[in-house]
Amino acid sequence: MKLSLRFPLVTTLVLLLGGPLQAAEERLTITDWATGREAPIRITLSGYSGEALNVLQFDLEVAGFKVVPEAEAQWLLQGSSQGQLQGRLTDAINKSVKFSKAYSGGSLRNQVHTLADEVVEAAAGRKGIARTRIAFKVKTGEAGGAGEIYVSDYDGFNAVAVTQDRTIVAAPSWIPGRRGLVYMTHKFNNPDIVYHDLGTGERKVVARYAGSSMSPAVSPDGRRVAMILGKSGNPDLYVANLDGTGLKQLTQTREDESSPCWSPDGKFICFATRQGARRVLARIPADGGTVERIPISNVGNPTEPDWSPDGKWIAFTSQAGNNFDICVIPARGGEARILVGGEDPAWAPNSRTLVFTKRLGSRRVLSLLDVPTRQNKDARGNLGSCSQPSWAR
């Protein structure tokens, strides 16, 4: 598929180093939420054992709860995992019962995920994420950096290979509201960006050009794709419709733009670029316009940004020498907060939890972080070296 560029270049990269963005816009500051000072919700569990207990404790700790003895608990979850799964949630302070249910249908793991999500909603007043899905790359160990794209439950269980191509793949991006992914693959003897329907297995080329094609990111409405293409000689930022039509070039620089992500309203694209030898984050209107640098203090070399679904935060990777850290800033910029060592951050639909890549020697595993409490749990890692996660929304 060959597409011609029919739009005039709409912007030249203008980095406003050290200057404010728009003074009329409110600048968010780091709050207790982002400093890790939010106390976990204390809960006690009784009546559960084996797999059910392990899954329930994992789900609740990722959601910002802490399992404690009954005398210290704010909430009591009593039930049974022998035969039919049951759960009864009681407020330990006023003794009121929030719900009492039995669960059936599907696997035991899925039943426990459902129970955990209902505990989160009843006790914390927010939706749970235990029944969500992630996509990621698994390195196969073959020559040339080959790998495969997988999808799994959010905790790494029930992983299924989306590709079996034994070639270079990278950067899976979920299409919101669909069972589909966009990613880069060398399957067709070119670094193509493709759309993959997970229901039918059908693949369609979104972008096929000479030069590099990298980092596709699907817009929140599922209609457009931001990506980095080298068709003009340098890696620049482009957008196109999901079927590859309407290609539009947004930047034209000698710098190496990378890792675009969308604001949740679809109006802006955040990406990494350089100013001289210095890497920075910037944003540009998705329909074209002036590029603005996003000011960041405390850390350097930001890359791999991801905009939270509620629009308040941008998570990113910061590199210092051989060390990589996951950081978060207010979406308009400001003081960065280092959260944990790692790279490739991706927000959950709740705008609270991050999945990221953790290095363990020569291997990489996916890990889950509850940002307000800093509670961290590794996802199941029996597939090999995993990286580049994307969370379904």
For residue 378, what are the contacts with CB-CB under 8 A and spacing of at least 6?
Answer: 358, 365, 366, 367, 368
d(CA 152, CA 179) in angstroms, rounded, equals 12
Instruction: Report the distance separating Cα 9 and Cα 123, nearest Å.
Output: 51
Residue 27 belongs to some domain of the structure:
no
Assign residue 292 a region: left if phi > 0, alpha if psi is -120 to 50, beta otherwise?
beta
Instruction: Report percent pLDDT > 90 for the chain.
Output: 81
Please say if the pLDDT value at position 8 is more than 50: no
Domain with residue 73: its CATH number is 3.40.50.10070
Please report whether residue 14 resides in a domain. Answer: no
In a domain, 26, yes or no: no
My answer on whether 142 and 105 are in the same domain is no
- Total structural domains in the chain? 2
Answer with the one of 124, 149, 183 that is the final residue of a domain.
124
pLDDT of residue 143: 59
pLDDT at 6 over 80: no
State which of 69, 94, 124 marks the end of a domain.
Answer: 124
Q: Are 87 and 213 members of one domain?
A: no
Question: pLDDT per residue over 296-322, tens digit each?
Answer: 999 999 999 999 999 999 999 999 888
Q: Predicted confidence band at 342 (pLDDT cuts at 50, 70, 90)? A: very high
- The mean-pLDDT minimum among 12-21, 82-91, 98-107 falls in 12-21
Q: Please tell me which residue, 23 or 118, carries the higher pLDDT value.
A: 118
pLDDT digits (tens, 9 = 90+) for 357-388: 999 888 899 999 999 999 999 999 788 899 99
When the pLDDT of each residue in the chain is averaged and rounded to a whole number, the result is 90
**272 assigned to some structural domain:** yes
Instruction: Give the pLDDT mean for 91-109.
Output: 96
- β-strand pairing of 203-207 with 213-218: unpaired
Higher-scoring residue by pLDDT: 141, 274: 274
Residue 381 confidence (pLDDT): 78
Verify that 333 and 256 share a domain, yes or no. Answer: yes
- The domain of 162 spans 133-391
pLDDT value at 348 more than 60 = yes
What is residue 322's predicted lDDT score, i.e. its pLDDT? Answer: 87
